[in-house]
């Protein structure tokens, strides 16, 4: 059993989740993920790693409550335990001296982009971090990201902070700031990663995305996480989760991602309804 050190909602529907798992904390790297089960009968949930403390032996993830399984995670309290906490899984993000790196984070990716920013800065890159949300009240970890970046830019869809709009504003924002990235790395929801990849392709900006498919074992055995990259079948859990965003078959990936939406969301809807009576 793994002890929950912290589980708190940091912005609506988004939770910071820290677990005592010294073996994972010892070797985790930016871009890795873990698989957690909230209880003995629960599903295996893959979560990107957002931070760790090797001395304390803790690992932190940010997750969004979207369905029945993440609702169970969201009910955990400090001091509770989870039966499964496996990791670090997947290949780590390649950290090198690239020059200027634009990191784009949205949703839970605002958290998981943080260790990548920190490592790239330590490697001597100029790190420009851009975070995006529907509104300013959905942003988090801005102070942590500012410490790990040379510049932090914000886009909110309602204009309550930073640039008003969507990630489609990135090229003009970069032009205004006089930035031509040598590499773009995107962490966040599938749609955002797809949009950024489609924007950067004609500009010739190499773009790495940290993919988030449905997973079961996380070790290349079940095949559930497969996706097509450059016309070839890959498994996100062992070949990724980082891939070249310009080579992914996004339509296929989006369709596979939605496969279990009814099974995931309907039980939540039923249990939420019951709680009102």
CB 88, min distance to ligand FES, A: 15
**How would you class 178 by CB atoms within 10 Å of its CB: exposed for 0-12, middle for 13-18, buried for 19 or more?**
exposed
222 touches ligand FES (CB under 6 A): yes
Residues 6 or more apart whose Cβ sits within 8 Å of residue 210? 31, 48, 93, 109, 112, 185, 186, 187, 193, 240, 241, 242
Judged by beta carbon, residue 222 or residue 268, the one nearer ligand FES is: 222
Residue 225 to residue 175: CA distance in whole angstroms = 36
Judged by beta carbon, residue 89 or residue 131, the one nearer ligand FES is: 89
β-sheet with 14-20: strand ranges across? 81-82, 2-11, 14-20, 58-64, 45-53, 33-37, 84-89
Q: Would you give the binding string for ligand FES spanning residues 169-208, x where CB under 6 A is met?
A: ----------------------------------------
237 touches ligand FES (CB under 6 A): yes
Q: Which of 154, 158, 151, 62 is nearest to 109 (CA)?
A: 62
CB 230, min distance to ligand FES, A: 18
235 touches ligand FES (CB under 6 A): yes
Residue 226 to residue 254: CA distance in whole angstroms = 12
| Beta strands per DSSP E along the chain | 2-11, 14-20, 33-37, 45-53, 58-64, 81-82, 84-89, 100-106, 126-133, 151-156, 163-164, 183-187, 207-210, 226-229, 232-235, 242-244
223 touches ligand FES (CB under 6 A): yes
CB 244, min distance to ligand FES, A: 19
Residue 235 to residue 219: CA distance in whole angstroms = 9
Region near ligand FES per CB under 6 A, out of 14-22, 139-147, 163-171, 210-218? 210-218
260 touches ligand FES (CB under 6 A): no
Please identify which residue in 150, 217, 247, 249 interacts with ligand FES, judged by CB under 6 A. 217
Please identify which residue in 10, 64, 154, 216 interacts with ligand FES, judged by CB under 6 A. 216
CB 240, min distance to ligand FES, A: 9
Judged by beta carbon, residue 35 or residue 170, the one nearer ligand FES is: 35
Please identify which residue in 74, 215, 229, 248 interacts with ligand FES, judged by CB under 6 A. 215
CB 254, min distance to ligand FES, A: 18
Residues in contact with ligand FES by the rule CB under 6 A:
215-218, 220-225, 235, 237
């Amino acid at each position: 059993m793994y002890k929950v050190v912290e589980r708190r909602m940091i912005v609506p529907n988004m939770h910071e989740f820290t677990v005592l798992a010294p073996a994972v904390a010892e070797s985790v790297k930016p871009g890795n993920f873990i698989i957690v089960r909230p209880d003995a009968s629960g599903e295996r949930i893959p979560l990107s790693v957002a931070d760790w403390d090797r001395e304390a032996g803790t690992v932190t993830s940010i997750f969004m409550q979207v369905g029945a399984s993440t609702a169970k995670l969201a009910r955990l309290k400090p001091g509770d335990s989870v039966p499964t906490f496996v990791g670090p899984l997947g290949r780590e993000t390649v950290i090198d001296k690239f020059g200027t790196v634009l990191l784009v984070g949205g949703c839970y990716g605002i958290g998981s982009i943080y260790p990548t920013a920190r490592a790239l800065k330590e490697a001597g890159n100029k790190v420009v971090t851009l975070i995006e949300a529907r509104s300013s009240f959905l942003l988090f970890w801005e102070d942590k990201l500012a410490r790990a970046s040379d510049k932090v830019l914000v886009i909110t869809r309602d204009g309550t902070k930073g640039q008003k709009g969507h990630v489609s504003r990135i090229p003009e924002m970069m032009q205004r700031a006089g930035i031509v990235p040598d590499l773009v790395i995107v962490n966040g929801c599938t749609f955002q990663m797809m949009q950024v990849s489609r924007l950067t392709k004609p500009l010739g900006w190499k773009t790495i995305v940290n993919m988030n498919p449905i997973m079961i074992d996380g070790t290349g055995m079940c095949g559930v996480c497969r996706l097509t990259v450059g016309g070839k079948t890959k498994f996100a859990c062992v070949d990724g989760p980082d891939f070249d965003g310009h080579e992914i078959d996004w339509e296929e990936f989006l369709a596979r991602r939605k496969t279990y939406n009814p099974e995931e969301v309907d039980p939540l809807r039923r249990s939420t309804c019951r709680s009102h009576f």
